[in-house]
């Protein structure tokens, strides 16, 4: 999913490839990269390190020609690599279906960020239960305990009590949690995300349905 890694040193390239190799052993990531390649989606034009960026991973450049930047090599962890690769998959899939365009991309950002968080939360919750007070940064961790408990209950429902990946997600419930995420998550609550377009989590669901994940 990267066209050129010429901006990386050998050590940086090895670190990135090590994370990708680990992720390729997981059902969701393996299905995502396979679908990406089979559909002929355009990859990141290049990948590099830029310590001036806030945060670990960032997609920069114009909508059609994105560049992947990491703050440092420690940021090339499996979590960050998976999230940024999933964001590229979202861009390509939703653009191909005209669900998002360069004109409405900013209005879609809240949904895109929450969908990435939800994908990671589902994967994590199936492996080991998410609970209130955990050190893990799940989507609703910064909400009050009542909302955290309700979100975890929703994850239990989505995953059939931590046994399966969901193949459908009710959009109204999804949107409600996306709005709560945007209002309370410490990283994103000041971004001013809006949710005035309909953007169901079709990237997540399509990958799950094409994967060999339990479902």
pLDDT for the residue numbered 63: 76
pLDDT tens per residue, range 139-160: 999 999 999 999 999 999 999 9
3-class SS of residue 34: helix
> Looking at the structure, do residues 27 and 70 belong to the same domain, yes or no?
yes
Is the pLDDT confidence value at 170 over 90? yes
pLDDT in tens, 42-78: 999 999 999 998 889 999 987 788 999 999 999 999 9
Answer with the one of 96, 130, 164 that is the final residue of a domain. 96
Q: Is pLDDT above 80 for 188? A: yes
pLDDT digits (tens, 9 = 90+) for 203-212: 999 999 999 9
Domain end marker among 44, 74, 96: 96
Give 63-72 pLDDT, tens digit per residue: 788 999 999 9
Number of domains in the chain: 2
Residues 90 and 124 in one domain: no
Domain around 54:
10-96
Residue 27's pLDDT band (cuts 50, 70, 90): very high
Angle (CA) 17 18 24, round 5° = 85
In the β-sheet with 67-70, what is the strand arrangement from edge to edge? 47-49, 67-70, 57-60
Q: What is the pLDDT of residue 190?
A: 86
Tell me: do 131 and 90 sit in the same domain. no
pLDDT given for residue 148 in this prediction: 96
Average predicted confidence (pLDDT) for the chain: 94
- What is the reported pLDDT for 32? 98
Q: Please report, to the nearest 10 degrees, the dihedral formed by the alpha carbons of residues 78, 81, 85, 88 taken in order.
A: 150
Within-domain flag for 151: yes
Q: What is the pLDDT of residue 20?
A: 97
24 in Cβ contact with 30 (< 8 Å): yes
- pTM passes above 0.85: yes
- Choosing from 68, 96, 124, the residue where a domain stops is 96
| Arithmetic mean of pLDDT, 120-127 | 97
Query: Does residue 68 sit in the same domain as residue 131?
Result: no
């Amino acid at each position: 999913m990267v066209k050129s890694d010429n901006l990386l040193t050998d050590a940086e390239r090895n670190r990135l490839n090590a994370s990708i190799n680990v992720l390729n052993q997981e059902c969701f990531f393996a299905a995502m990269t396979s679908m990406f390649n089979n559909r002929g989606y355009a990859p990141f034009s290049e990948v590099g390190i830029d310590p001036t960026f806030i945060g670990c991973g960032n997609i920069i450049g114009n909508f059609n020609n994105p560049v992947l930047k990491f703050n440092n090599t420690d940021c090339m962890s499996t979590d960050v690599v998976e999230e940024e690769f999933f964001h590229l998959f979202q861009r390509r899939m939703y653009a191909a279906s005209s669900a998002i365009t360069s004109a409405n991309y900013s209005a879609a950002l809240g949904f895109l960020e929450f969908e990435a968080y939800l994908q990671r939360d589902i994967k994590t919750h199936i492996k080991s239960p998410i609970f209130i007070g955990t050190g893990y940064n799940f989507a609703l961790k910064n909400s009050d305990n009542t909302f955290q408990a309700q979100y975890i209950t929703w994850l239990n429902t989505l995953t059939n009590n931590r046994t399966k990946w969901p193949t459908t997600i009710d959009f109204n419930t999804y949107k409600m949690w996306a709005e709560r995420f945007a209002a309370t998550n410490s990283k994103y609550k000041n971004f001013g995300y809006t949710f005035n377009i309909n953007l169901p989590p079709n990237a997540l669901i399509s990958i799950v349905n094409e994967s060999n994940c339990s479902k």
